[in-house]
Structure 1
Amino acid sequence: MNNQAVKKIRFEKSAIFYVPLIIFILGGFWRGYFSRFFNWEQFSKITFYTHFHFLMVSLWVVLLIIQPILIRQKKVAIHKKLGRISYILMPLIFVSVLLLFHSRHKPNGEGVDLDFFIPLKDLIIMGIAYFIAIKYRKRFDIHARAMIATGIPFIEPALSRLMSHNFPTLGLTNYFITCGVMHLLLIVLIILERKQKSARWVFPLIWGIYLVFHFIAIFDVHIPGLKSLANWFLSLPLT
């Protein structure tokens, strides 16, 4: 089979990939966030850190939607200029996640190391994917895959909450199902790309990292120094 006969994922049309993500975000955070916009008493209780985090994540998702559309319309110059916003936006996402965690937890709390690990793993995955995207920004095949990978960590917290709200009796099983969906998504992407000769290593890399991180989270594997790091961070006068 020649290269022309091999079907490829059309990454310039990847904006459609984020429709399910938006649905998960709206559904997962409706009860705890969006519904409060219609009740001033409840809305006033939402902290600045929650609003800040939501704004940063929303801007990133919008960026992920707009950028492939610009490529499809061959507006490469605008795509590049808009992409420079990510140099500021990505660090702000990190800041928003850490500040939100800091505002919701206290030092020496029970399970503080696992509570810290959950958002930390998402930041690590996003950071690795973004580093790849920037390093290979002149290689569309790698860059596009890596940018898609930066959006994958948003699925887990949204879907996990959506599952918990709709199936509260399942308890921890909801998290297992969420992890299963994450792995299934990455496996599907890997299978769809199995015949590509370049850049197909991006999704297997992200999947491998998820395998390790989910193993740590599900089996509550002790990471030396993580609890001390979490307590030190929470002791800082940030929020």
Structure 2
Amino acid sequence: MSALRTIRDPFFFYFSCLMLIIAVGGFGLNAIVNPQSIPPNSTYLVAHGTCMTLWYLLVVVQAGLIRVKNIALHKRLGKSSVVLAIGILVSGILVTINRYTRSEDAAIVMASIVMMGSFIMLYAFALYHYQRPVIHKRLILYASLAMLVPSLGRLTRAMGINEFLSLLFLILLALAPLVYDKKTLKKVQGITFIGIVTIIVGLGIIVGVGLSESWANFLASIMLP
């Protein structure tokens, strides 16, 4: 594949658009169909939702800038992603604590730990490899995918289907870059395998540990009354 075709290849741009649609549409559609499920409004909930929306918007913009070869603006905007990542992490922790206080849902806490842990790890590696576009853009893609579980869950809930199917949908999304690599590069990038494994292992921990009684008991024992 030529360098020009690599830059203008639409896969990462359209995939970023899809993630934005899922992130915004999942919560939006669920709010319309199941308004009773909307949690009480709070400053950190609004902050978290704003940070997440801005993140997926930024990913779309950044992928678009690469397509039009505006590398200078791409790099300048990339610096703002650090602020968003910190905002996502801090607000996400506060939202999780509030959610557990209200519902004592231990699975939510485990899901948050896994999602935010995967997000920060993949994002940090993406920053480290910012001068290696093949690695960098795949790490950003998988970091963004790691945070889509809540949106996919609300999307399936709004559609009236089993919420566990959201995990299958996430796995299918995680496998899409593998198909892309094989089709365009004739080989699968090692970083793509790492991204897929991170997503699948994370889901395994959420289901296998997060839903267990032992995790619920442990969490209850360490939480302040």
TM-score, length-normalised on structure 1? 0.76
Among 133, 154, 160, the alignment partner of 1:161 is: 154
Amino acid at match of 1:214: L
Among 33, 56, 61, the alignment partner of 1:66 is: 61
Residues 9 and 193 in structure 1, CA contact (< 8 A), matched pair in contact too: no
Among 180, 189, 202, the alignment partner of 1:213 is: 202
Among 12, 15, 27, the alignment partner of 1:14 is: 12
Structure 1: distance between partners of 2:92 and 2:73: 29
Residues 13 and 72 in structure 1, CA contact (< 8 A), matched pair in contact too: no
Q: How is 1:69-218 mapped onto 2 (pairs within 5 angstroms)?
A: 69-106=64-101, 111-112=105-106, 114-167=107-160, 170=161, 173-175=162-164, 177-194=165-182, 196=185, 200-218=189-207
How far 1:15 sits from its partner (Å)? 2.5
Amino acid at match of 1:74: K
* Secondary structure of 2:163's aligned partner: helix
Larger RCO: Structure 1 or Structure 2 (Cα < 8 Å, ≥ 6 residues apart)? 1
Structure 1: distance between partners of 2:193 and 2:39: 43
How far 1:226 sits from its partner (Å)? 8.6
How far 1:209 sits from its partner (Å)? 2.0
Structure 2 unaligned blocks of 5 or more: none
Please, what is the CA RMSD of the aligned residues? 3.6
Q: 1:138 to 1:53 in 2, by over 3 A?
A: same
Residues 189 and 203 in structure 1, CA contact (< 8 A), matched pair in contact too: yes
Amino acid at match of 2:21: I
Q: 1:76 to 1:174 in 2, by over 3 A?
A: same
Residues 142 and 195 in structure 2, CA contact (< 8 A), matched pair in contact too: yes
In our comparison, the structure showing a higher alpha carbon Rg is 1
How far 1:192 sits from its partner (Å)? 2.4
How far 1:58 sits from its partner (Å)? 1.1
Residues 125 and 206 in structure 1, CA contact (< 8 A), matched pair in contact too: no
Residues 25 and 155 in structure 2, CA contact (< 8 A), matched pair in contact too: yes
Structure 1: distance between partners of 2:88 and 2:220: 19
How many residues are aligned here? Answer: 220
Structure 1: distance between partners of 2:213 and 2:112: 15
Indicate whether 1:27 and 2:16 are aligned: no
* Secondary structure of 2:101's aligned partner: coil
Amino acid at match of 1:213: G
Among 45, 49, 52, the alignment partner of 1:57 is: 52
Amino acid at match of 2:15: F
Structure 1: distance between partners of 2:167 and 2:215: 25
